[in-house]
Amino acid sequence: MLSIVAIVPCLIAIAQYFSSIYFDYELTMNFFYTPEVAASSTQNYARFNVLPMLTILRIPSTFTFPTQFSNYLLLSLLPVTTCIYTSKSFKEKLLYNLILVLIILASIASGVRGMYALIPLFFFYFSLFHVKLFKIILSGIVIYLILLLVYSTKILNLNNLFDYIFLLNKHYILYAMQDFGTILFNNILGQGTGMKTGSVRYVVEETVKLPIFSDPKESYYHKTIIELGFFGLVTLIAFYVIIFREIKHCLKIYSQEKINVFIASSMSIFLLLVTINFKSYHFDLYPINFMFYFILGIILKLRHMKNSYA
């Protein structure tokens, strides 16, 4: 059901993107929403011209903002991947593969530039826990050679796109690490839950210096330090370690069963979330902020069921 439902927002996003390219971006968004909502949802109709044949636009689909839409697309990879591997017929497998293609196309259309790295990263994590090591190495070599060929021969001028993605990710990595020690030292005990959340500016006096403005970094780890301090960061890391061990144990006890695909996908989503948190607050945003715990609950239940029957 989760896989089938994903068709609707994906098709809407793709329609919004091509309509914006071939007609008019602002006109298209105003048609789907009111002008006020459209301007807010698209960051005032933000546009990035990466290549002559690739223009990045902020596309929210059925969501309030492209970031929430991208969260939904990343989460949709879990049920779709599971359905592909557990399909009972060729028609079912073909259907779910087509949905996967739609998710990838919608990810490109969403205008969230990080998706160009996050989608491949999900499949890399997935391969670590579901595909044998020699297949990973072989696939990596093949992909590397293809990318090298495309880059060196300048097919479609995609070398500029690779440069753009590389420099963008390098910028965010360095930005997340900048002044990390200083921020940690200045917030040993933390400043209180919510103080690094954007909406807090509506409930405090204007004279109060808010951490969200004094430290503009969007990293979830910066947010944790500023709000909960050093011990909060340690608790978060411990929480992550426990989750990793639980999913890893679940992978082991279901290693010979089809449900292992779902568990491997869950591990991939979890590791992807840990990675994204260096850049942004995804962990606090819809729909990851509740779907993650829903997935974790299923993992814990699967382990309990196996232990109960053992």
Range from 93-97, 253-257, 282-286 that averages highest in pLDDT? 93-97
Q: Where are the domains of the chain?
A: 1-112
Average model confidence (pLDDT) across the chain: 80
- pLDDT higher for 181 or 73? 73
Angle, alpha carbons 50-55-61 (nearest 5°): 130
pLDDT for 176: 60
- pLDDT higher for 53 or 21? 21
Tokens of 210: 């808010």
Per-residue model confidence as pLDDT tens digits over 229-262: 888 889 999 999 999 999 999 998 888 888 889 9
DSSP string, the chain: -HHHHTHHHHHHHHHHHHHHHHT-HHHHHHHHS-HHHHHHHTTTT-EEEEETTEEEE---TTSSSHHHHHHHHHHHHHHHHHHHHH-SSHHHHHHHHHHHHHHHHHHHHT--TTHHHHHHHHHHHHHHHHS-HHHHHHHHHHHHHHHHHHHHHTGGGHHHHHHHHHHHHHHHHHHHHTTHHHHHHHTSS-S-TTTTSGGGGGSS-TTS--HHHHS----HHHHHHHHHHHHHHHHHHHHHHHHHHHHHHHHHHTTTSTTHHHHHHHHHHHHHHHHHTTT--GGGSTTHHHHHHHHHHHHHHHHHHHHHH-
Range from 1-15, 221-235, 270-284 that averages highest in pLDDT? 1-15
pTM (two decimals)? 0.80
pLDDT for 48: 74
Q: Residue 10 above 90 pLDDT?
A: yes
Instruction: Name the least confident of 119-133, 239-253, 259-273.
Output: 119-133
pLDDT for 276: 86
Instruction: Give 74's pLDDT tier (boundaries 50, 70, 90).
Output: very high
Per-residue pLDDT, averaged over 103-113, amounts to: 87
At residue 55, φ and ψ (nearest 5 deg) are -115, 125
Per-residue pLDDT, averaged over 101-130, amounts to: 86
Instruction: Name the least confident of 132-136, 247-251, 290-294.
Output: 132-136
Identity of the amino acid at 103 = I
Q: Kindly tell me the burial class for residue 57, based on how many C-beta atoms sit within 10 Å of its own C-beta (0-12, 13-18, 19 or more).
A: buried
